Amino acid sequence: MNEDLIARATKNVSDIIYLAIEHKPSEKVLVVYDTRYGLTNILTAAYRATLPDAHFINFDSASKEEVMDAINAMQQSDLVILIQSSNFLLDAFRIRLHLFQKKLKVIEHVHLHRNTEDVWDVYVNALEYDINWYRGIGPRLKAKLETVNEIRIESAETVLTITGGVESPKLNIGDYTGMENIGGTFPIGEVFTESKDFLQMNGSFMIYAFAGGDFLTSMHEPFRVDVKEGQVTNWADNAPKSFVDILGVIKEYERPLIRELGFGLNRAITRERYLQDITAFERILGLHLSLGEKHSVYKKPDITTHKTKFHVDVFPVVDRVLADGVVIFEDGKYCV
* Span 200-249, pLDDT tens digits: 999 999 999 999 988 899 999 999 999 999 999 999 999 999 999 999 99
Which band of pLDDT confidence, cut at 50, 70 and 90, is reported for residue 90?
confident
Same structural domain for residues 319 and 221? yes
Decide if 229 is inside a domain.
yes
Are residue 161 and residue 105 in the same domain, yes or no?
no
From the CB of residue 142, how many other CB atoms can be counted at a distance below 10 Å? 19
Pairing of strands 29-33, 79-83: parallel
Q: Are residues 148 and 120 in the same domain?
A: no
- Residue 175 resides in a domain: no
Domain residues for 103? 3-126
DSSP code for 4:
H
Predicted confidence at residue 308, as pLDDT, reads 94
pLDDT of residue 93: 60
Give the count of beta carbons closer than 10 Å to the beta carbon of residue 143.
11
Query: What is the four-CA torsion angle of 129, 186, 115, 43, rounded to 10 degrees?
Result: 70
The secondary structure element, H or E, covering residue 248 is helix 241-253
Residue 20 predicted with pLDDT over 90: yes
Model confidence over 134-189: pLDDT tens digits? 999 999 999 999 999 999 999 988 999 999 999 999 999 999 999 999 999 999 99
For 238-296, write each residue's pLDDT tens digit.
999 999 999 999 999 999 999 999 999 999 999 999 999 999 999 999 999 999 999 98
Q: Identify whether residues 75 and 201 lie together within a single domain.
A: no
pLDDT at 92 over 60: no
108: CATH? 3.40.50
At 155 the pLDDT is 94
Any domain includes 181: no
Asked whether residue 177 is assigned to any structural domain, the reply reads no
Are 152 and 273 in a shared domain?
Answer: yes
Across the chain, what does the average pLDDT equal?
A: 95
Give every CB contact of residue 107 below 8 A, 6+ residues apart in sequence.
13, 16, 17, 21, 79, 80, 81, 82, 183, 184, 186
Asked if the structure places residue 176 within a domain, the reply is no
**Do 108 and 205 lie in a common domain?**
no
pLDDT confidence bin for 28, thresholds 50/70/90: very high
Specify whether 244 is located in the same domain as 193: yes
**Number of folded domains in the chain?**
2
